[in-house]
Amino acid sequence: MKTKSLINTIYVAAAALLFLGSCEKESGDLRNYATEKIDANFQKYDSLLTSSKAGWKFLAYPNIAEFPSNKGGFSFMMKFAEKDQRVTMVSDFDSEMGGKVSESKYTIKFTSLSTLSFSTYSYIHHIADPNSMVNGGEKLGWGNRLDFEYSILKTSANQDTIYLKGNLQATDAIMIRASEQESNALLNQFQYEDIKAKFAKAVDGKVGLHVKTGNNLSVMTLSLDQRQIVFAKDVSEDSVYIHRTGIAYNGTNSILLNKPFNSDGIMVSEIFLENGKLVAKDTKGTIVPVEEREFPIIPAFKMYRTGAYSTIRIPYDNTRWITGYKAETLDWPHRTQVQYFLGETAGADLGIILGVISAQIRFYDVTVQFKAAQRRFLLNINFGFYDPDRPNAPGASYRTSDDFYDRFTFPYQYRYTYNQDEVFTMYYEGPQFVYAAQLPNLKNAFKNSLIDGQYSLKYTKTNKELLIAFYDKRTGNVLFEGQPY
């Protein structure tokens, strides 16, 4: 019996050794397979990136569907080195980034999807910095909502286009193989600022732009500063179809939309310049006419009521003789009323007056941000406090750079109703930020201005830009006007 037991033990041990050996072999095979797959993906995409000798146009579009006040798109010209995984780039973000080449490292990683990561500090990281005081981002803690790590979703059949998605902020991105002419213009001749100036000149003074699809006109609002385009198509008495999407410069003569505008079966996807004038194209490359009228064909009140426009920006020119800024409203038709309205805040409190005179406080602008679905709007006062603790702070004066001011927004919320005569009735709800409640005179200056009147909206304009006037329908008096977007 002992002998039989011993034999059984030997059989069991042998089987266990065979099983463990098999597991080790399978585990090794799996490790080898995973390593080979990672290596293959790295080689595939690294070879693709470095295969374009002229480089790639990298167009990134933050998620403005969820965050409409964010800037809508940023452009980069990139060239990937064949060794050392280094990338050089310029960007349209500002004149400094467009006029100086930055070099950093990139990596390609593989999880469920291959990922392109800009792994050392670059222009992308600066724009993405969550500290909005660094880059003028939409919200402190989120910056410009731009990613610096992207999953590669797919490539075009001819390998000339790569589609990507940001891993944290869900930024849409597209990489397009650049031509030698585009690469030379952007990476060597630093023409981003020239390109922006050409489009700005083409838009300048065009306050009633529309695209024509079939027999229908849709309002087209091209906001180059906000890097967005909004199309509005009148559908019915109570409905406007709105398409808001980000834009980014595509090479030297084109602006590419993140999401095409679909109207009458035509997908408008691109705006370009032809002899200095704006022209549109659809996804098939067919020309879509752009027409100009005196004003948009959809009334201003309806544009805000339905969310086609969301914001009115009013610059603080009445404090700029102190702060040294160039005035923006000199040619506005209701400049006196605008600056009187804003003067009620700049002069609402003795402490504020002294702060402005001593350059400890700077007022920048007021934005009236409509929330159409909630029938509310926020009146945001945007200003800065001088920060003497910043490195190399020179002291507060009108000559002091904005870099030494901490920016703040004090939001005050209103609820509104409206009637068939397009008249708002306002109800003040209070400050939406704890510190905003600490300046009661500032709060009351706006509260008292807005709740007493039968207000509506209408278009006004200068020789250069479209404006929206907030006016009293009983008297025709304008309370303020500002830039719509």
Closest listed residue to residue 318, CA positions, set 293, 338, 332, 289: 338
- Residue 260's pLDDT is 97
Q: Does residue 17 lie within any of the structural domains?
A: no
Q: Does residue 457 lie within any of the structural domains?
A: yes
d(CA 24, CA 22): 5
- Residue 322's pLDDT is 52
Structural domain boundaries, residue 465:
300-484
Does pLDDT of 378 surpass 90? Answer: no
Instruction: Assess whether 307 and 397 both reside in one domain.
Output: yes
Instruction: Assess whether 342 and 227 both reside in one domain.
Output: no
Percent of the chain with pLDDT over 90: 48
Q: For 11-25, 142-156, 270-284, 360-374, which range has the lowest pLDDT when averaged over its residues?
A: 11-25
Q: For 35-49, 82-96, 123-137, 213-227, which range has the lowest pLDDT when averaged over its residues?
A: 35-49
d(CA 430, CA 173): 39
Q: Which of 190, 216, 251 is the last residue of a domain?
A: 190
Instruction: Assess whether 278 and 186 both reside in one domain.
Output: no
Q: Does residue 39 lie within any of the structural domains?
A: no
Instruction: Assess whether 181 and 221 both reside in one domain.
Output: no
Instruction: Assess whether 391 and 270 both reside in one domain.
Output: no
Q: Does residue 31 lie within any of the structural domains?
A: no
- Residue 455's pLDDT is 87
Which token pair is 354? 């002294």
Q: For residue 447, what pLDDT band results from cuts at 50, 70 and 90?
A: low
Q: For residue 300, what pLDDT band results from cuts at 50, 70 and 90?
A: very high
Closest listed residue to residue 416, CA positions, set 298, 301, 300, 338: 301
pLDDT tens, residue by residue, 309-368: 889 999 887 555 555 556 788 889 998 888 888 877 666 667 777 888 888 888 888 898
Does pLDDT of 410 surpass 90? Answer: no
**Mean per-residue pLDDT, 358-384:** 87
Specify the CATH number for the domain of residue 261: 2.40.128
d(CA 426, CA 2): 98
Q: Does residue 232 lie within any of the structural domains?
A: yes
Q: For residue 25, what pLDDT band results from cuts at 50, 70 and 90?
A: low
Instruction: Assess whether 444 and 316 both reside in one domain.
Output: yes
Instruction: Assess whether 119 and 181 both reside in one domain.
Output: yes
Q: For 64-68, 176-180, 194-198, 432-436, which range has the lowest pLDDT when averaged over its residues?
A: 432-436
Does pLDDT of 193 surpass 90? Answer: yes
Instruction: Assess whether 64 and 186 both reside in one domain.
Output: yes
Instruction: Assess whether 338 and 451 both reside in one domain.
Output: yes
Q: Does residue 40 lie within any of the structural domains?
A: no
Q: Which of 264, 292, 320 is the last residue of a domain?
A: 292
Instruction: Assess whether 247 and 306 both reside in one domain.
Output: no
Q: Which of 292, 309, 326 is the last residue of a domain?
A: 292
- Residue 30's pLDDT is 44
- Residue 345's pLDDT is 64
Q: Does residue 283 lie within any of the structural domains?
A: yes
Number of domains in the chain: 3
**Mean per-residue pLDDT, 15-23:** 50
Which token pair is 288? 């879509």
Instruction: Assess whether 267 and 395 both reside in one domain.
Output: no
Does pLDDT of 445 surpass 90? Answer: no
Q: Does residue 249 lie within any of the structural domains?
A: yes
What residues pair up with 213 in beta bridges, in sequence order? 216
- Residue 18's pLDDT is 47
The mean pLDDT of the chain is 85
CA 476 from centre of chain: 35
d(CA 405, CA 383): 9
Instruction: Assess whether 228 and 286 both reside in one domain.
Output: yes
